[in-house]
């Protein structure tokens, strides 16, 4: 298919390469052009504007930081794309953000936030959370096959997938902050923190993610797969959605504060494992 990928950050660049490997014709655009240019070597056409990228596209993928950038770029892309083009919004934009995307997309948009990070984006093994009109879901199937290993359909309403994404990322943020807490607590109490990971390994409370992020924390390796500031943004969206429904926000606030503290310490662009720095 002819696919425009708008936003070639960590996730968008990996998704563009997965689409190219699957044989799709891919045009890419990024606000900071230098971040899109390397994709030419993979076979992408690097466009100098959103309009150029979207011209002739059957599917327009937006993989941008937040709802504001997604709505702005997606709206401009749809204006330039053919009338039957489908807009696949893949960023984490929250529930209110998804409503704004739906308004801007006028029936041509699918909500498709993803689970997985840099590695799965590069490998085409993301888990796509999908919601929106069923005919559009069928149409974009080849694109989803290229970027993901499976798709979880959350219904036919744009926004349901973004709601599910918030629930999933609440878990990811809590697990990462919890791993940092246990490593730091062990250290503070005078125990070798590696023993925490050894103790839970293979048991019912083990999580592979604790090992991955815990290993990075022990090595003080903050090479970014998902940035601290991205987590701050996402947990903020969870707090907003929860508070609007009278849902308890204590735990979300605590997690938000920890990641915000790591960001304040200068780790905003570092990997979320750097939440370890919010503990002694
Ligand atoms: N990384 C992960 O593990 C992961 C996993 C699942 C979902 N997500 C979500 O996927 C989305 C992208 O994340 P990422 O990790 O790829 O982030 P990233 O590397 O920081 O990329 C963000 C992208 O958004 C663009 N952007 C930001 N503000 C913009 C604006 N005002 N106008 C136009 N473009 C703008 C950036 O352009 P510039 O290059 O010009 O700054 C860049 O292309 C986010 O919603 C994130 O929450 C990330």
The string of pLDDT tens digits covering residues 25-66 is 999 999 999 999 999 999 999 999 999 999 999 999 999 999
Same-domain check for residues 215 and 137: no
Same-domain check for residues 72 and 185: no
Mean pLDDT of the region 110-133: 97
Inter-residue contact 110 to 91 (CB < 8 Å): no
- Boundary-marking domain end, from 124, 157, 190: 157
Ligand 1 in contact with 86 (CB < 6 A)? no
Distance CA 112, CA 165 (A): 9
Total domain count for the chain? 2
CATH code of the domain covering residue 237: 1.10.1040.10
- Mind spelling out the 3-state secondary structure of 174-202? HHHHHHHHHHHHHHHCCCCCHHHHHHHCC
Same-domain check for residues 149 and 192: no
Same-domain check for residues 54 and 13: yes
Distance (Å) from CA 65 to ligand 1 centroid: 4
Inter-residue contact 263 to 233 (CB < 8 Å): no
- Boundary-marking domain end, from 99, 129, 157: 157
CA dihedral defined by 276, 115, 107, 159, rounded to 10 degrees? -50
Ligand 1 in contact with 97 (CB < 6 A)? no
The string of pLDDT tens digits covering residues 60-116 is 999 999 999 999 999 999 999 999 999 999 999 999 999 999 999 999 999 999 999
Q: Half-sphere exposure (CA, 13 Å, Cβ side) for 173?
A: 29
Task: Give the residue, out of 62, 64, 128, 213, with the most ligand 1 atoms within 8 A of its beta carbon, to mutate for a pocket test.
Answer: 64
- Boundary-marking domain end, from 157, 174, 189: 157
Distance (Å) from CA 7 to ligand 1 centroid: 7
Distance CA 206, CA 221 (A): 21
pTM: 0.96
Distance (Å) from CA 275 to ligand 1 centroid: 19
Same-domain check for residues 135 and 43: yes
Same-domain check for residues 152 and 173: no
Same-domain check for residues 21 and 133: yes
Residue 177, CA distances (Å) to 147, 172, 216, 217, 226 in order: 28, 9, 13, 11, 14
Same-domain check for residues 130 and 28: yes
Tally DSSP H helices, then E strands, for the chain.
12, 9
At 275, the pLDDT band (50, 70, 90 cuts) reads very high
Same-domain check for residues 113 and 176: no
CATH code of the domain covering residue 29: 3.40.50.720
Q: What is the pLDDT of residue 106?
A: 92
Q: What is the pLDDT of residue 77?
A: 98
Same-domain check for residues 51 and 153: yes
Inter-residue contact 92 to 173 (CB < 8 Å): no
- Domain limits at 117? 2-157
Ligand 1 in contact with 230 (CB < 6 A)? yes
């Amino acid at each position: 298919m002819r696919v425009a990928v708008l936003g070639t950050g960590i996730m968008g660049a990996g998704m563009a390469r997965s689409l190219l490997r699957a044989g799709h014709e891919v045009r890419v655009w990024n606000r900071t052009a230098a971040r899109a240019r390397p994709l030419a070597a993979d076979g992408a056409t690097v466009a100098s504007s959103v309009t150029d990228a979207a011209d002739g596209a059957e599917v327009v993928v937006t993989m941008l930081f937040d709802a504001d950038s997604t709505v702005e770029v997606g709206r401009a892309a749809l204006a330039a794309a053919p009338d039957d083009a489908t807009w696949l919004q893949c960023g984490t934009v929250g529930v209110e953000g998804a409503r704004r995307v739906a308004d801007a997309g006028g029936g041509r948009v699918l909500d498709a936030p993803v689970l997985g990070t840099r590695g799965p984006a590069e490998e085409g093994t993301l888990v796509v959370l999908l919601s929106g009109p069923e005919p559009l879901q069928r149409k974009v199937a080849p694109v989803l096959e290229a970027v993901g290993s499976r798709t979880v359909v959350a219904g036919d309403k744009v926004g349901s997938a973004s709601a599910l994404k918030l629930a999933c990322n609440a878990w990811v943020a809590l697990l990462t902050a919890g791993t940092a807490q246990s490593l730091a607590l062990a250290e503070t109490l005078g125990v070798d923190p590696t023993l925490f990971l050894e103790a839970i390994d293979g048991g019912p409370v083990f999580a592979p993610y604790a090992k991955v992020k815990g290993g990075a924390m022990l090595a003080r390796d903050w090479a970014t797969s998902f940035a601290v500031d991205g987590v701050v943004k996402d947990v903020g969206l969870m707090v907003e959605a929860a508070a609007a429904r009278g849902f308890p926000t204590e735990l979300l606030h605590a997690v938000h504060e920890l990641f915000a503290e790591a960001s304040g310490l200068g780790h905003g662009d570092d990997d979320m494992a750097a939440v370890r720095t919010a503990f002694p």
